[in-house]
Amino acid sequence: MIEPVVVMLGRGRVPVDTPLLRADDLGVLRGDGVFETMHVRGGRPWLLDEHLARMVNSAARLELPLPERSVLRELAETALRGWPADQEGALRLVCTRGPEWGGPATVFATLAPIRDATRLARAQGLTVATATLGFPVAVREGAPWLLGGVKALSYAVNMACQRWAAQQGLDDVLWVSTDGYALEAPTSTLCWLRDETLSTVPADQTGVLPGTTARWLLDHAADLGCRATEQLVQPEELTAADGVWLVSSVRGVAAVRELDGVALKPSPLTADLQRLAGHPI
Amino acid sequence: MIEPVVVMLGRGRVPVDTPLLRADDLGVLRGDGVFETMHVRGGRPWLLDEHLARMVNSAARLELPLPERSVLRELAETALRGWPADQEGALRLVCTRGPEWGGPATVFATLAPIRDATRLARAQGLTVATATLGFPVAVREGAPWLLGGVKALSYAVNMACQRWAAQQGLDDVLWVSTDGYALEAPTSTLCWLRDETLSTVPADQTGVLPGTTARWLLDHAADLGCRATEQLVQPEELTAADGVWLVSSVRGVAAVRELDGVALKPSPLTADLQRLAGHPI
């Protein structure tokens, strides 16, 4: 079993169990920081530029000072050094706001192997239940302080939703708005196929996180003979779609095989999308 | 200037700039942990039992293992040792979920002096703007996965709201629901007076954090010749109230002197409530 790697800005590689963050770091006390997670294949992070761009945007929205991209790239390179080319990995970049009582932000990278459950999700698909996120679909568009589209270190609700799913013997949750639209999952983006059109939820109108992997699939949908678009969708429409997927950087393309107890028919496009995304199955 | 104190479970007192948390602690990566903050006066934490009870409840809601209360009390005692009786303080207890890759949770206490801005808020009151929290008022009651009433380490939105207020030259935000009810502030509880009745927002129906200081004020309202109740309120009603306050453990009782640009008349009850809560002015 390959060991996780931790690299801290200013210190280089450190053992995984090294304490890095002060008690008063606002990244700890307030979940006040930003992060990105990338898939590593062939020893390289996939879509690094896109993830860095999203991290820069998250930091700007939080008015959080972020190191230059070149510094973050170097941090990633240091973590990747010696990582076996045949070993999948999850590379995370994190930047906190720093100590409440003054001092520098904590900036670090971690690189770890993929969990078995993640690989299994690609191969077998996911059982999913819808759950309200509490918001009307468009409310975050006019309320930037709600941090729609920002990837911050405040995932307590995301984690609680996944525990809630697990309690019911399910793999994941699909968040829906109070006015009946599907939004996203706690750690992945919704994509679906209907009438040979691959769709995802528009981030601008809804406050969902703009998915890097979903974006890549939509941008390359023509390679699979599909159109691509962003639109709103209701869960009932998903059960009649020609394919529904939860898509994320590390898990890749995972088919939803059951939604709210309704079995969804397997989509012939799943294998094509997985090849397009390039995660090992 | 008195120095902040940090105490870590298993290590005792450590210098403030000591790194305590691993890079893979889910308290860092996911804001997945619980905390409480108490006011220290006369060298003792105020309402310690009530705060511990709320912390236990938060942890239970997150299915987070929390040390026994006696352990948390001892942690607090260690932090308080030698703290001057004439020095106000903010005592924080924190417990994370622990490392993603296995290992113990991080449990620590911090104790720090009060900020000047906090004392000023008691003396001069607050200018406040309403801002939507995005939720209909009752949605969290039926959706426990949204963590209504839980004090988790995921305060990125709370902090963003306070930055948003500051950008407009204001002191704080009052969250309102999408259906027009006042909820709470990012780090304090709403109280108001009307018809000699001191009110706060019912936590059970709304998912706001049940305020320990607000509870104490309501429980002792009779000492001031007031009735006490929990009820919903709309911001327009607040501008016509006989007093509006944002109440929290450390800031204590701060009068709202301006709400959405409307000056609220000073309430004769402010001084009484502040005496009742016992924070120095």
Cα angle B252, B253, B255 (rounded to 5 degrees) comes to 145
pLDDT of residue A102: 84
Whether residue B227 sits in one domain with residue B141? yes
Whether residue B139 sits in one domain with residue B54? no
Neighbours of B258 (CB within 10 A): 16
Whether residue B269 sits in one domain with residue B154? yes
How far is the C-alpha of B92 from the C-alpha of B79, rounded, in Å?
10
Whether residue B246 sits in one domain with residue B222? yes
Chain A neighbors of B134, CB-CB under 8 A: 134-136, 139-140, 143, 146
On whether any CB of chain B is under 8 Å from the CB of A38, the answer is no
On whether any CB of chain A is under 8 Å from the CB of B75, the answer is no
Pairing assessment for the beta strands B227-230 and B197-200 based on DSSP bridges:
parallel
A 110-139 near B (Cβ less than 8 A) = 110, 112, 131-136, 139
Q: CA gyration radius for chain A?
A: 19
Chain B neighbors of A136, CB-CB under 8 A: 134, 136, 178
Whether residue B136 sits in one domain with residue B56? no
- The torsion angles phi and psi of A261, rounded to 5 degrees, stand at 85, -5
B101 and A16 within 8 Å at the Cβ level: the answer is yes
Q: Can you give the residue range of the structural domain that contains A28?
A: 5-114
Measure CA of the first residue to CA of the last residue in chain B; give whole Å.
19
- The pLDDT mean for chain A works out to 97
Residue of A5, A9, A137, A159 to mutate when probing chain B, most B C-beta within 10 A? A159
Mean pLDDT of B65-90: 97
The CATH number of residue A96's host domain is 3.30.470.10
Q: What is the DSSP letter of A56?
A: H
B30 and A159 within 8 Å at the Cβ level: the answer is yes
Whether residue A81 sits in one domain with residue A157? no
C-alpha dihedral sign at B232, B238, B241, B242? positive
Would you say A181 and A137 are in contact if contact means Cβ atoms under 8 Å apart? yes
B 146-175 near A (Cβ less than 8 A) = 146-147, 150, 152-161, 163-164, 173
How far is the C-alpha of B105 from the C-alpha of B85, rounded, in Å?
32
How far is the C-alpha of B104 from the C-alpha of B7, rounded, in Å?
16
Q: Is B228 left (phi over 0), alpha (psi -120 to 50) or beta?
A: beta
CB-closest option in A24, A153, A159 to B28: A153
Q: What is the DSSP letter of A279?
A: -
CB-closest option in B96, B131, B146 to A157: B146
pLDDT of residue B82: 96
* Three-state SS at A261: coil
On whether any CB of chain B is under 8 Å from the CB of A10, the answer is no
How far is the C-alpha of A69 from the C-alpha of A32, rounded, in Å?
20
pLDDT of residue A111: 98
Whether residue B152 sits in one domain with residue B13? no
Count the domains in chain A. Answer: 2
Would you say A21 and A9 are in contact if contact means Cβ atoms under 8 Å apart? no
Whether residue B251 sits in one domain with residue B127? yes
pLDDT of residue B57: 98
pLDDT of residue B101: 83
Whether residue B126 sits in one domain with residue B261? yes
- In DSSP terms, A62 is beta-bridged to none
User: Which single residue is written with the structure tokens 């991209």?
Assistant: A69
pLDDT tens column, B4-44:
999 999 999 999 999 999 999 999 999 999 999 999 999 99
Mean pLDDT of B226-248: 98
Comparing alpha-carbon positions, the chain A residue that sits nearest to B108 is: A23
**A249: distance to nearest CA of chain B, Å?**
16
The CATH number of residue B223's host domain is 3.20.10.10
Would you say A39 and A249 are in contact if contact means Cβ atoms under 8 Å apart? yes
pLDDT of residue B106 exceeding 90: yes
Look at residues A114, A146, A173 and tell me which one is the last residue of a structural domain. Answer: A114
Look at residues A70, A89, A114 and tell me which one is the last residue of a structural domain. Answer: A114
On whether any CB of chain B is under 8 Å from the CB of A22, the answer is yes
Whether residue A194 sits in one domain with residue A78? no
Comparing alpha-carbon positions, the chain A residue that sits nearest to B161 is: A145
pLDDT of residue B103 exceeding 90: no
Residues in chain A, pLDDT under 50: none
Look at residues A114, A145, A178 and tell me which one is the last residue of a structural domain. Answer: A114
pLDDT tens column, A114-123:
999 999 999 9
CB-closest option in B61, B110, B150 to A23: B110
Pairing assessment for the beta strands B252-259 and B126-132 based on DSSP bridges:
parallel
pLDDT of residue A281: 86
Whether residue A266 sits in one domain with residue A156? yes
How far is the C-alpha of A131 from the C-alpha of B243, rounded, in Å?
39
Whether residue B106 sits in one domain with residue B172? no
On whether any CB of chain A is under 8 Å from the CB of B108, the answer is yes
The interface pTM score, or ipTM, of the predicted complex is 0.97
Q: Which one-letter amino acid corresponds to residue B144?
A: P
Which tokens sit at A13?
């590689």
